[in-house]
Amino acid sequence: MYSEATVALTLYYHPLSSYCWKALIALYEADVAFEPRMVNLGDPADRAALAAVWPLAKFPVLRDDELDRTVPEATIVIEYLAQHYPSAASLVPASPDLAWQTRLRDRLFDNYIHNGLQRVVADRLRAEGQRDPLEVDRARADIRAGYDLVQPMGTDAWAMGETFTLADCAALPALFYADYAVSLAEWPKLAAYLGRLKARPSVARVLAEAGPYFQYFPLKDG
């Protein structure tokens, strides 16, 4: 554990990226100081700069210059913050039982909702003759199944009850974007939960920063 004031963190990200939202929410929630480094993967120089930090050239990536560590993957970024920053510690509960339940919810949102949404988006980005309606139907079915899995979480204030955690950081991008692929109208508890998430200051900040770029989201017109 160390002083937040002495650590130089840089987050490589894009404000429209759903997984970057997950990391940004955690950083804003814990009020951890960092330098945002926006990356345009379509720009060769930007891509090369990201690849120099993380060879896969995928974001988000957190660079900790103080400890000379590179931390990729949104979930791992949040785990890293919870381990090293007192203000972020509550994002992963100290109780082992609560911690694994939090991680499970994180995986449910990512694997059963977020993943399906990304498959729908990937298909929309393909040329007209290369699209796969059957795969899109399967992805939408996975999203619906994911909604059914996490629907009980909508009864509490947050995914783990009264404390905002890693699971909620995962829930916002998954539910926000998936709602464009499979409407939450049939899952009113989840829709209400999404409403609470949007009102959270850390989330509202992420959404506001994404606003100018949202016109480029492939599913925004249905």
DSSP 8-class letter at 7: -
Amino acid occupying residue 59? F
Whether residues 111 and 73 share a domain: the answer is no
Print the domain residue range for 37: 4-89
Q: Is residue 154 part of a domain?
A: yes
Rounded Cα gap, residues 165 and 56, in angstroms: 27
Whether residues 65 and 124 share a domain: the answer is no
In tens digits, the chain (222 residues) has pLDDT values of 444 455 579 999 999 999 999 999 999 999 999 999 999 999 999 999 999 999 999 999 999 999 999 999 999 999 999 999 999 999 999 999 999 999 999 999 999 999 999 999 999 988 888 899 999 999 999 999 999 999 877 678 999 999 999 999 999 999 999 999 999 999 999 999 999 999 999 999 999 999 999 888 888 765
Whether residues 109 and 132 share a domain: the answer is yes
Whether residues 135 and 170 share a domain: the answer is yes
pTM (predicted TM-score): 0.93
Contact 153, 101 (CB under 8 A): no
Q: Is residue 205 part of a domain?
A: no
Rounded Cα gap, residues 104 and 127, in angstroms: 36
Whether residues 45 and 110 share a domain: the answer is no
How many Å separate Cα 169 from the centre of its chain? 6
CATH code at position 160: 1.20.1050.10
DSSP 8-class letter at 10: E
Rounded Cα gap, residues 90 and 82, in angstroms: 7
